[in-house]
A = this chain, B = another copy of it.
Amino acid sequence: MASSPSAPPRKSRASGRLTLDDVAAAAGVSRITASRALRGERSVGAELVARVAQAAQTLGYVPDPAARALASARSRTVVVLVPLLSNNLFVDLLEAVHRSLHPAGYQILIGVTHYQADEEEALLASYLAHRPAGLLVTGFDRTQRCKDMIAQSGVPCVHLMETSTDPAVHCVGFSQTQAGGAMTEHLLAQGRQRIAFAAAQLDPRVMQRLDGYRMAMQAAGLWDAELEWLSPAPSSMALGAQLLEQNLARHPDVDAIFYCNDDLAQGGLLAALRLHIAVPQQLAVAGFNDLAGSDQMLPTLTTIRTPRRQIGHSAAQMLLHLMRDEPIDTHSVDLGWELVQRQST
């Protein structure tokens, strides 16, 4: 029994840190056996495993991740690179990833790239040095140096938010282009003709939505370059309002605005309210992502609901398989999207 009640938490080393040796001594086994027992290697007898676990528990032992990483050349950390934390889309993604990876014993290390190629390079270089067990990155758009670093590291990597036909690449997402096209077609089907596409940030996924919009408009013979309102500035409600106010003045015949993100669209809706523009009668407004609050707007916002929680979960699962060298069903998972029609269209 591991009841030694008054056993002082012996500290064998000068550092005063509780080490595997302490656990091994308390359990009456060698250090290696303790290590194996703790890691769940099944070459250890069940009784020993229990004894070691008990000892570790009692002493309050926490393995040193640095020593572990150094000895095994691999950590239990998964690096996740997202562009922004200020877009709730990515927060949802991160939460889902965490919820899937945490029970499996992995920690996540969040890196924020701010949509900057050089920041991504720096983050990757510095995080790869930590010998992560896996990598989760947003989209495919990055410098060749980044791609090389990932490839050379040999760390399994899953790409988030997009799909691909290249079997060498692992990804979980949906077709941004298709979703952009579908919303445009929805507006066309409602009889709108002068549909503007209002966008900010202009990251690769926004541009794919723009592609979908363009193709649908061209197919309908209604495409007009004047109706593409693009701003490289960060997305915000204020910018959404501004895009509407400035461009509607020059194009009063516009009868619908398809915003590339819900925060812009929410700003547009409020601007319409301020300017007494009737939505949807006079102007239809659509968004993208179905962010918090879109169902609270007046009128409520029609949008594309994107499955970011599922993407986070599914990508984590795929990565788990890759990290364990297990076979995976497909290299690219398409989780689709849903057009949520509300009052604004």
Contact = CB atoms under 8 A, between A and B. Distances in A.
Interface of A: 15, 17, 62-70, 73, 75, 85-86, 88, 91-92, 94-95, 98, 107, 109-110, 112, 125-126, 128-131, 236-238, 241, 263, 266-267, 270-271, 273-274, 292-293, 295-298
Contact of A295 (B86, B238, B296): B238
Given A66-B69, A69-B66, A129-B62, A237 B298 contact: no
B293 A62 contact: no
A131 B62 contact: no
Contact of A88 (B75, B86, B95): B86
A257 to B, nearest CB: 16
A125 B62 contact: yes
Contacts of A107: 126
26 contacts: A17-B73, A62-B126, A62-B129, A63-B129, A64-B70, A64-B131, A65-B66, A65-B130, A66-B66, A66-B69, A66-B75, A66-B130, A85-B95, A86-B88, A86-B91, A91-B91, A95-B112, A237-B292, A237-B293, A241-B296, A263-B293, A266-B296, A270-B298, A271-B296, A273-B298, A274-B298
Given A85-B91, A270-B297, A270-B298, A64 B129 contact: yes
Contacts of A293: 236-238, 263, 266-267
Given A70-B70, A85-B85, A91-B86, A296 B237 contact: yes
Contacts of A70: 64, 66-67, 70
Quick one: copies of this chain in the complex?
2
Given A62-B129, A110-B110, A273-B298, 6 more contacts: A65-B129, A67-B70, A85-B94, A109-B109, A236-B292, A263-B292
A321 to B, nearest CB: 24
A201 to B, nearest CB: 14
A20 to B, nearest CB: 13
Contacts of A263: 292-293
Nearest to A274: B298
Contact of A270 (B88, B237, B296): B296
A148 to B, nearest CB: 11
Nearest to A109: B109
The 4 closest A-B pairs by CB, nearest first: A66-B69, A237-B293, A62-B129, A66-B66
